[in-house]
Structure 1
Amino acid sequence: MNDRKQIYVVLMVMILWMLLIQALGWGPRPQAKKPQTDPAKVAKDQGDAAPDAKAEAPGREEDRPKGAEEKKGPKAPEVAHVDPSELVLGSATDKAPDGYRLAVQLEQKGAGVESILSSRYDAEFEGRKNPHLPLQILRRDPIAPPSLSLTINEEGKAAEVAQPEVDDEASELAPPRITEDLLDSVLWEVVRDPEGHAVRVVRSQDPATKADIEGQEVVFRATAANGVGITKTYRLWQTMNGLEVELAFESPDRERAFSYNLFGPHGIPIEGEWYTGTFREVFFGTIRPSGNGEGSIKVETHTANDIVKAGDKPPKSTTLPLRFAGVENQYFAAFLAPYPAPTSDEGRIDKETKAVVLHRDAQAVQKSDVGIRMTSKTIRPGPNAPVVHTFRVYTGPKIDSALAPYNASILAAYRKSSFIPGASYVARYFITPTLSVTYDLTTAISRALGGSVGNWGVAIILMTLFVKLLMFPLGRRQALMAQRTQQLQPYLKAIQEKYKDDKEQQTRETLALYKKHGVNPVSGCLPALIQLPIFVGLWQALNSSVSLRHSPFLWISDLAAPDMLFRFPVEIPLLGSFLGRWFNLLPILVVGLMLVQTKLFSPPATTPEAKTQQTTMQFMMVFMAVMFYKVPAGLGIYFITSSLWSIGERLLLPKITHAAENTPEADALGGDAGKGGPGKGGGGNGRGPAAPKKPPGAFGQFMERILEEARKDPTYRKLTDDREGKGKDRKTDRDDRRDRTRPRPKPGRKQSP
């Protein structure tokens, strides 16, 4: 089977495996987490991000030019304060499969969200210790308005405000005066049920399963300065990783035109701040309408570093209807989405959505806290014509099963740019489901032995072995081609010495030598190119899989973080800020195995250039150990397993190919073995005639014809004659092959005819 057929077979097996995975519905499953505590206590224990002394509240001075004036309406009536413990939706300790997955702490001032805790995930480890606190997906910012708070913009008022007369120089600095009712900083009324409860119990029907589900809601009410009554309702349902926000605008006396600004969820924590490459990022998911009404979703992502550097021109989304927008870290996302989702420009709610900076981190800009702010299109509520807008807010892991109800499954894919085409698709549709299958296998084995859960470390090892086994034909072909190339090193060295002053002729002679011996350097690299998307896809899947978060294996407490064998007693000079305070063993083992592979299987350096190249590669591996020192432990396990497989494959290759040394393929390399050529087998090894061969088949006959043409080449004959010190004419190729099997006459004795 040639290289092309092998590649076709491997690709067909991969495609069939992906289709089988999709048909059976296998996918990664997040692990259940530890019990959690009260939201207020957890928020106090985990602490809020320290505000920058010079930070400005988003949506206030940052989004509005200095000198702007807010419209002052009549004094609002006194609103009774409500204890924060009465404004909690859901539970942080509910572990039931059909229970609440979130605990939402609401805030009366601004009618926003103070914090959101997860009942399924623990907070980040402190080194190698689990604090057993619930993950705080959103946290309150002490300066910025609360998440999901809003302000009102009155239509046309900014243009009616008379500007003072100033000189030309001052007019360049004087911004226009605008009007904005800051409802995000006033105390809203909490509407209680007839029994006096702030939290109401509501029921609905799950559209997917048609089963009754229970939920909770809290209703806030306020009156804007323009006389519009606003009712804001928060609803949280069981089994959902998010909540609903309903905004109802009423103007009973006359029609009023205005727009509003809705502040998105913010305050998502940074996962693995000392080792991660993904901090906080803002994303805009827009939909491009199509003829069938579905459309395609496009996601645009911006890092905190880009947003801070953009200054007063932050990234924004204005052209296409907004499907969702929010913030994310490596494993979790928090976003708001209009509901029902718009399918055309006529049905869209948003006018523009832009990124905002909550706090700028002066020392590490990429760690700055960012969020989004949506501005609606103009709405016109009037008598008996209220306007109601509904949003769905998601706060949870980036996995398909959780994002699917929000039509945001695209967020589960690795979306960073990759220099390997198709790697993200391989990660999403092949590697991740395969990892889920191997984890299910470990779970089944664990239950058979009396356990309850599987092991993700063992699952990674099994998945790596499966992928390497699938790629075995290509890997073996690559190793065999490398071995044949190594056998030709004496000829290649002779060509380099002979044509060292003529590089063009040297290239031609080298290619001719490869052609005569059936060695194709490109075919040796092709299997590696085929495996490259799989490798990058596997790296992406392991680097963004929330299922590996807090998963233990051997001494490793978190497969999604570095293995952290022990903590350095002191900070390492120069590299301490980059490497961190922990010693990671797995990257050292990975580079050590790579050095072993190079030592065992690289051809010996025959030229000073080759020796310099090998030395450079050794230094590069040490450099790679530093660069990949903080990779997740799951990746380290994959690298080690893959390297051990490759070493074993190469060590067993001579035993596998030993029986084929007397085939026509081996004869092409070893025909001159008895004369000091690169081959070591065949009949000319001085140990008697070769074993009888079977009649050649179609492939053997094809190779015979190639060898016939190769031996007619004068360049090859002259090169081999020069190496053996011969100057006499050679016999024909057929007679020469026949004579090799006969014993040579002793010196001084005449050979019988």
Structure 2
Amino acid sequence: MEKRALLAFLLSIMILLLWDLYFTPKKEPVKPEKTKQEEMIPEQEAAEQQEEHRASVDAEVLPSFKMEQIEKEVKTWIVDTPVYEARILQPGARLFSLTLKKHKSRAGEDAPFMELITAKPYGYLPLAVELLHHQDFNLSTMSYTGPEETKVKLDGQDNKTMEFRAVADGAVEVVKRYSWKGGSYDIDLTVEVTNLSSEPLRDSLSLSSYYLPYEENEPSYNHSRLAYYANRELTKIDMKKIRKEAVTLENSVNWIGFENNYFIQALIPMTNEPYTLVGRVIRPDVGLLQLVYVSPEFTLSPGEARSWSFRLYMGPKEMEELEKAGHLLTASIDYGWVGFLARPLLKFLVWIYRYTHNYGVAIILLTVIIKLIFWPLTHKSYKSMQKMKEIQPLIAKLREKYKDDREKLNQELLQLYRTYKINPMGGCLPIIIQIPFFFALYRMLYGSVELRHQPFCLWINDLTAPDRLFIGFHIPYLGGVPVLTLLMGLSMFIQQKMSPSPGDPRQERIMLLMPVIFTVFFINFPSGLVLYWFVNNVLSIVQQFWINRATS
């Protein structure tokens, strides 16, 4: 019975992992009812009043605000902080680049730093501002006047506001104010529009951002998506869906942005008025996407001004940094139903890393600690399985004797268990208790930026990448040899051979096949997760060896 429970456990893990990776349904964007938004949006007026002022937005005809040509001689402003370097381009006062200083684009000491403005080669720079009814003003491409100081260096506690101004046809003045914080990834942006003409100005303001996946062939466990948080619910929209049809949201959100497992580019509208958000593809050939904020229609009298405030978070999905930025950005780290376990496990792993300075070693120590915590339970389970193995001949005789009387067989089996003081479910409970911890570790290890590009030893130089040892020639479909994954499969096979026989030849064949299935299944998983499973298997082998020796 315990062997069946173990088989069911392993099969359940495989099915749930497959479902989690490939078949988890994406939540469709919905129009929620009026709510109070935490940390940002106060209680709004009735929906009927809001709709009167909402701008009508057609995603199909919304401009892309592309910069046709970016001259090398164009003036730029540089903001250098401990965590990133940002550049503002004079045309449009748009963000030209944002390079993360603590994260690299790929593994290796010679790798360049991570650049988040990925759509730049195609002429699409984020934070483009336009008036939708007066696009002839060309606010997103016209030249802005900025500070005389073109390079600003900020320390961890420093703050700096930079102001950029432009006047369009003597009719409209636009001011963009960027507020930078030396030790944080969040940036505040205020856009102010003043009517300089003698006539009322009726229009809608738009703010655009762009996204191109960081990797051309993203692994299934780290694909890009559009995500937003509203009404205490995180919604993710797969890029494939957006490529088929534009997504339009007409509700307030805490934040919205493009993300993968490790980085997020989030927009936070700091307003209590209704607005529209549009996510769509503008370059299907390369998968380039645009996110547009559209304000409600407004009217400015001559000489009147109006401003809009936004907060941007452009950086890694590190819990500590997201907590500092606020606005419930921590919800972007989605560990699913095991989040209540995965978050403290991640904090504990980071704490271990502070002493080991190697996340591979930290994973090993974390695995050992968890194994020690569950040692009494697993020990009880193994002993129960051992006892079940000893009475298998008696069980077989009873099954043969009462093969035509199911009720009598069950009665005799219960009596047999009482005689030998065996709980037939004794091996199941320890396994069931460990299931949430396994999935918490699984979600934490494959979805944490803290492990990205972190080396372990020898050929493993990135714990978030698949395990590969390159040996001078290309192996079809693999590239290199998955040494750690093969060792994991071997350790699982040894563990199966050391475990008590299930008695049923069919179950025994299935159990022996499980190491092969798991080896194939884990072959493209992050090496950090494979390392955890391998170490866990080795510890289980040690425990099983000790129990077998004590029993004999």
TM-score (normalised: structure 1): 0.60
CA distance in 2, matches of 1:571, 1:525: 41
Aligned to 1:527: 430
Q: In structure 1, list runs of 5 or more residues that go unmatched.
A: 1-60, 71-80, 92-98, 155-179, 289-296, 363-367, 443-453, 659-753
Q: CA deviation at 1:559?
A: 1.4
Aligned to 1:123: 105
CA distance in 2, matches of 1:560, 1:260: 41
1:181 aligns with 2:112: no
Q: CA deviation at 1:245?
A: 1.9
SS in 2 for 1:138: coil
Give the direction of change, closer, same or farther, for the CA distance of 1:69–1:511 in structure 2 (3 Å limit): closer
Give the direction of change, closer, same or farther, for the CA distance of 1:104–1:437 in structure 2 (3 Å limit): closer
Q: CA deviation at 1:544?
A: 1.6
Aligned to 2:77: 88
Counterpart amino acid of 2:79? Answer: G
Give the direction of change, closer, same or farther, for the CA distance of 1:219–1:583 in structure 2 (3 Å limit): same
Output one character per residue of 1:322-347: Cα deviation in whole Å (capped at 9) or x when no partner.
Answer: 221110122111111123xx5xxxx2
Output one character per residue of 1:487-516: Cα deviation in whole Å (capped at 9) or x when no partner.
Answer: 221121112212223445434433443344
CA distance in 1, matches of 2:63, 2:367: 62
Structure-to-structure mapping, 1:621-660, within 5 angstroms: 621-654=515-548
1:396 aligns with 2:315: yes
1:327 aligns with 2:258: yes
Output one character per residue of 1:337-371: Cα deviation in whole Å (capped at 9) or x when no partner.
Answer: 123xx5xxxx23x5121321243358xxxxx3434
Aligned to 1:600: 498
Q: CA deviation at 1:317?
A: 2.8
Alpha-carbon contact 2:79-2:85 (below 8 Å) kept:
yes
Alpha-carbon contact 1:112-1:147 (below 8 Å) kept:
yes
1:425 aligns with 2:340: yes
Aligned to 1:488: 391
Alpha-carbon contact 2:79-2:152 (below 8 Å) kept:
no
CA distance in 1, matches of 2:527, 2:446: 10
Out of 337, 357, 365, the position equivalent to 2:281 is 357
CA distance in 2, matches of 1:224, 1:539: 58
Counterpart amino acid of 1:188? Answer: M
Output one character per residue of 1:577-603: Cα deviation in whole Å (capped at 9) or x when no partner.
Answer: xxx322211111111111111111131
Q: In structure 2, list runs of 5 or more residues that go unmatched.
A: 1-56, 65-69
Alpha-carbon contact 1:102-1:242 (below 8 Å) kept:
no
CA distance in 1, matches of 2:74, 2:493: 60
Alpha-carbon contact 2:228-2:256 (below 8 Å) kept:
yes
CA distance in 2, matches of 1:326, 1:520: 53
Alpha-carbon contact 1:481-1:519 (below 8 Å) kept:
yes
CA distance in 1, matches of 2:149, 2:451: 39
SS in 2 for 1:215: strand
SS in 2 for 1:330: coil
Stretch deviating more after TM superposition (275-284 or 104-113): 104-113
Alpha-carbon contact 1:116-1:139 (below 8 Å) kept:
no
Aligned to 1:63: 59
Give the direction of change, closer, same or farther, for the CA distance of 1:185–1:242 in structure 2 (3 Å limit): same
Aligned to 2:37: none
Alpha-carbon contact 1:123-1:131 (below 8 Å) kept:
no
Give the direction of change, closer, same or farther, for the CA distance of 1:82–1:244 in structure 2 (3 Å limit): farther
Q: CA deviation at 1:221?
A: 1.6
SS in 2 for 1:495: helix
Question: Among the aligned pairs, what percent are the same residue?
Answer: 23
Output one character per residue of 1:36-79: Cα deviation in whole Å (capped at 9) or x when no partner.
Answer: xxxxxxxxxxxxxxxxxxxxxxxxx99335xx999xxxxxxxxx
Alpha-carbon contact 1:123-1:136 (below 8 Å) kept:
yes
Aligned to 2:269: 338
Out of 577, 586, 605, the position equivalent to 2:484 is 586
CA distance in 1, matches of 2:325, 2:210: 16
Q: CA deviation at 1:192?
A: 3.8
Give the direction of change, closer, same or farther, for the CA distance of 1:526–1:86 in structure 2 (3 Å limit): same
Compare CA radii of gyration and give the structure with the larger one: 1
Aligned-pair Cα RMSD in Å: 3.2
Q: CA deviation at 1:385?
A: 3.5
CA distance in 2, matches of 1:509, 1:144: 78
Alpha-carbon contact 1:426-1:534 (below 8 Å) kept:
yes
Aligned to 1:278: 222
Structure-to-structure mapping, 1:596-745, within 5 angstroms: 596-603=494-501, 605=503, 610-654=504-548
Counterpart amino acid of 1:357? Answer: V
CA distance in 2, matches of 1:602, 1:184: 75
CA distance in 2, matches of 1:69, 1:598: 61
CA distance in 1, matches of 2:427, 2:485: 28
Give the direction of change, closer, same or farther, for the CA distance of 1:638–1:192 in structure 2 (3 Å limit): closer
Aligned to 1:701: none
SS in 1 for 2:178: strand
Q: Which has the higher strand share?
A: 2
Give the direction of change, closer, same or farther, for the CA distance of 1:187–1:69 in structure 2 (3 Å limit): closer
Aligned to 2:111: 132
Counterpart amino acid of 2:93? Answer: A
Aligned to 1:306: 241
Give the direction of change, closer, same or farther, for the CA distance of 1:223–1:135 in structure 2 (3 Å limit): same
SS in 2 for 1:635: helix
